[in-house]
Amino acid sequence: MFQRIQSVFIIIAVGLIGSLFFLPMIKFTDGGIIRFSEFYPTLVLTIASFGAGAASIFMYKGRIIQARVCTINALILIGYQILLIVKYIQRVDEMIFTTANVFPTVAAILLFLAIRYILKDEAKVIAANHLR
Over residues 59-89, the pLDDT tens digits come to 888 889 999 999 999 999 999 999 999 988 9
Confidence class of residue 130 from pLDDT cuts 50, 70 and 90?
Answer: confident
Is residue 34's pLDDT more than 90?
no
Q: How far apart are CA 55 and CA 77, in angstroms?
A: 15
pLDDT at 113 over 90: yes
- Residue 93, pLDDT > 60, answer yes
What is the distance, to the nearest Å, from the Cα of residue 124 to the centroid of all Cα atoms in its chain? 26
pLDDT class of 36 with cuts at 50, 70, 90: confident
Average of pLDDT values for 30-34? 86
> Whole domain around residue 53: which residue ranges?
5-130
Contact indicator for 14, 57 with CB cutoff of 8 Å: yes
Q: Hey, how many other C-beta atoms are within 10 angstroms of the C-beta on 88? A: 12
Query: Are residues 14 and 53 in contact, defined by beta-carbon separation less than 8 angstroms?
Result: yes
Q: How many domains does the chain have?
A: 1
2 — pLDDT class (breaks 50, 70, 90): low
Q: Are 110 and 9 in contact (CB under 8 A)?
A: yes
- Predicted TM-score of the model (pTM): 0.90
- CA dihedral for 125, 114, 75, 46, sign (positive or negative): positive
